[in-house]
Amino acid sequence: MTIRLTNTATRRKEEFVPLDSGNVRMYVCGPTVYDRAHLGNARPVVVFDVLFRLLRHVYGADHVTYVRNFTDVDDKINARASESGRSIGEITEETTRWYLEDMAAIGALEPTHMPRATQYIDQMIAMIEDLIARGHAYEAEGHVLFAVDSWKEGYGKLSGRSVDDMIAGARVEVAPYKRDPMDFVMWKPSPDDLPGWDSPWGRGRPGWHIECSAMAFDLLGEEFDIHGGGNDLMFPHHENEIAQSKCAGHGFARYWLHNEMLQVEGRKMSKSLGNFFTIRDLLDQGVPGEVIRFVFLSTHYRKPMDWTEKKREEAEATLRKWRALTDGVAPGPMPAEVLDAVSDDLNTAGAISALHKLAGGGDLPGLVAGGRMLGLLTEEIGGWDSVSVDLSTYAKQLADLRDTAMRTKDFSSLDAMKSALTKAGVEVRMSKAGVDLVPGSDFDASKLEKI
């Protein structure tokens, strides 16, 4: 089985060959836990969950190590604590739990390790000390900074930018203690009212970039297979991770994967545009987690993804149909056409096309097996049970219209409502005993709002 992945570092689609097929290792940058995960935060979770499932299928579940971190020390968290009057610990515990619940609702498997930055402070300090000893970092006014000009030959290769371009395009912090505008903070002092740890440079806390380098080294070793994340992290975060780790003598990641960003109805998601929402918002509105996942998978991970109401409706109709078809059906052998698509640079859109063909051809065990490769049609995901639709009001309304029609001999209103219910995917059963409304495989609750 050959897996091919587009390696950001080389700009090429390459055959994936792990360092050790007995322990395939992947690191993905996780969330900063200060609030609910918005829709865009979930895209890399789904992308790398599919890759995790593929690697487990090819190499065995016990031979894949997946690390995704939690950033639980950060200025955004400090600001949220100050605004709310709650403790930092309360906020990070709550938002970490929210994150895991919401990602489980869209079918994401839990990674092998989910380290928190605050658990790896000693490892970060040790790496910083090593970089100072090697001449790649320096202390200044209680800060420790990485000296970018100490590794000019490698800095910027991942993102394809020169240092001059990066200075021009980035909001570089101007500080008198920096030797160079591009130097970035690995350690900074903490006042008494903020989290802090003792270090050789005084009480302080780590910068953002050092945590991933330290945790990847501790959990995956000096060199590992895959590093992933959204392309918004390519610079500066991933460039800085590479610089620190390489200058510490580590091989670091061999394959880099980056997913594109998300839009809503063709526009960038933004609170000012009124199109900003979280995964929990959608779940609370009755959108099953499986539907959210299906919409994500319908677009290749390296292309911008546009969340639209039309895509949501189509995804829900498809999944209702597939679940009705496969109720009680056990998975069969993995269909080659699904596995081939996913193995070709995570072509999930192609895999979904293959699932449509399996459904149309009546290969239901293959449909279940192929769906589960994508994290669909599983017993754990769905959320369908929580989408409770009470049709009794519509049934009573229809019964009243029938009584009126029988008296007046005007059946136009009755027929119009029956037609609207049918278009919403509801089977209308009328008898002397009463009216029964049964949602079908193509049921779309959103269409009931128009009735």
Residues of the chain with CATH 3.40.50.620: 17-259
CA distances, 153 to each of 243, 246, 404 (Å): 10, 11, 83
Q: What does the pLDDT look like over 76-125, one tens digit per residue?
A: 999 999 999 999 999 999 999 999 999 999 999 999 999 999 999 999 99
| Residue labelled with tokens 């594109």 | 260
CATH architecture of 17-259: 3-Layer(aba) Sandwich (3.40)
What SS3 class is residue 376?
Answer: coil
Q: At what angle do helices 88-105 and 39-59 cross, to 10 degrees?
A: 60
Q: What does the pLDDT look like over 351-403, one tens digit per residue?
A: 999 999 999 999 999 999 999 999 999 988 866 755 545 677 888 899 999 99
* For residue 53, pLDDT beyond 60: yes
Q: What was the pLDDT predicted at 309?
A: 92
Mean pLDDT for all residues in the chain? 92
Global pTM exceeds 0.75: yes
* For residue 213, pLDDT beyond 60: yes
Q: What was the pLDDT predicted at 167?
A: 63
Buried b (16+ CB within 10 A) or exposed e, 316-354: bbbbbbbbeebeeeebeeebebbbebbbebbbbebbbeb
Q: At what angle do helices 348-361 and 364-373 cross, to 10 degrees?
A: 160
